């Protein structure tokens, strides 16, 4: 398997995840989805792949844009995902045909694998047009401290906007837009802080996540 040893079923068994309908999960996803929606036009027949979909927070909201398939290596994670179109597979060797999806999306997957470029290449292979990535931003102090303290998150310590730009370039994708954003963290933000953080949750160099949108070259 192409995943690091950190990304195993045992690693996630005791982690508490907020579901897609939780107010904080919705506030976490909505600004990113709005950014994607403004920059990508999907037809009525579009199909989306949420690679490394985990518990389905993004799967749920991506399915509001177009029919969405979720894939993940972990049976434990898929068991917590309420979506009805799920496939268990390795991100390095998915069972999908080339160009099967109009948009291939991943969130918080690349920093858990040994070879992020190989996963991006697989995303590109099964995409017809767009590849979108959401990864931690080490320019965010909270994210940096969290990754230092949590052994299974330390793969993110090299993730910066510049690093993600280079990854897209090396994969042969045209980076059409990139933004650092996010003051809300899906599983760590207290409910009491949500009203304040929603007002502060806008693009900024120190935003918690790097959202990168790439397009296949014709």
Q: Give the integer Cα–Cα distance in Å for 213 and 130.
A: 7
Residue with tokens 């304040």: 196
Is 3 inside a domain boundary?
no
Place of tokens 């991943």: 106
Query: Of all helices (H) and strands (E), which one includes residue 209?
Result: strand 209-216
Q: Residue 109 corresponds to which tokens in the numbers above?
A: 């997957």
Encode 63-110 in three state secondary structure: CCCCCEEEEECCHHHHHCCCCCCEEECCCCCCCCCCCCEEEEEEECCH
Whole-prediction pTM value? 0.92
Distance from C-alpha of 55 to C-alpha of 78, rounded to nearest angstrom: 6
At residue 31, the pLDDT reads 96
How many domains does one find in the chain? 1
pLDDT of residue 11: 54
pLDDT, position 14: 58
Indicate which CATH number applies to the domain containing 112. 3.40.50.150
Burial of 216 (0-12, 13-18, 19+ CB in 10 A): middle
Whether 164 is in a domain gets the answer yes
Q: Tell me what the mean pLDDT of segment 148-169 comes to.
A: 95
The confidence score (pLDDT) of residue 17 equals 83
pLDDT of residue 19: 86
Range of the domain at 80: 9-216
Q: Is residue 124 part of a domain?
A: yes
In-domain check, residue 22? yes
Structural domain includes residue 4: no
Three-state SS at 189: coil
Q: What pLDDT is stored for residue 28 in this prediction?
A: 96
Residue 6, pLDDT above cutoff 70: no
For helices 116-126 and 161-171, what crossing angle results, to 10°? Answer: 50
Q: Is residue 207 part of a domain?
A: yes
- Answer whether residue 9 shows pLDDT above 90: no
Secondary structure letter of residue 135 according to DSSP? E
Does residue 1 form part of some domain?
no
pLDDT of residue 18: 86
Dihedral sign computed on CA atoms, order 175, 157, 17, 69: positive
The pLDDT of 93-122, averaged and rounded, is 97
Per-residue pLDDT, 90:
96
Q: What is the pLDDT of residues 205-216, one digit of tens each?
A: 999 999 999 999
Query: What mean pLDDT comes out for the span 124-134?
Result: 98
- The model's pLDDT over 41-95, given as tens digits with 9 standing for 90+, comes to 898 899 999 999 999 999 999 999 999 999 999 998 999 999 999 999 999 999 9
């Amino acid at each position: 398997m192409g995943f690091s040893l950190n990304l195993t079923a045992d690693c996630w068994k005791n982690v508490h995840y907020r579901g897609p309908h939780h107010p904080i999960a919705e506030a976490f996803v909505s600004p990113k989805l709005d950014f994607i929606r403004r920059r990508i036009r999907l037809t009525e027949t579009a199909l989306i792949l949420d690679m490394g979909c985990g518990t389905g927070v993004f799967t749920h909201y991506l399915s509001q844009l177009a029919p969405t398939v979720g894939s993940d290596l972990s049976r434990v994670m898929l068991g917590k995902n309420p979506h009805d179109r799920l496939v268990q597979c390795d991100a390095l060797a998915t069972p999908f045909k080339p160009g099967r999806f109009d948009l291939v999306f991943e969130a918080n997957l690349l920093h858990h694998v040994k070879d992020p470029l190989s996963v991006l290449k697989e995303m590109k292979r099964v995409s017809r047009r767009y590849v979108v990535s959401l990864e931690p931003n080490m320019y965010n102090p909270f994210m940096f401290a969290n990754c230092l303290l949590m052994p299974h998150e330390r793969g993110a310590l090299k993730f910066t906007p510049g690093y993600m730009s280079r990854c897209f370039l090396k994969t042969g994708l045209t980076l059409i837009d990139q933004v650092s954003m996010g003051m809300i963290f899906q599983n760590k933000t207290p409910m009491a802080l949500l009203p304040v953080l929603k007002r502060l949750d806008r693009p900024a160099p120190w935003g918690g996540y790097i959202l990168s949108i790439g397009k296949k070259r014709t």
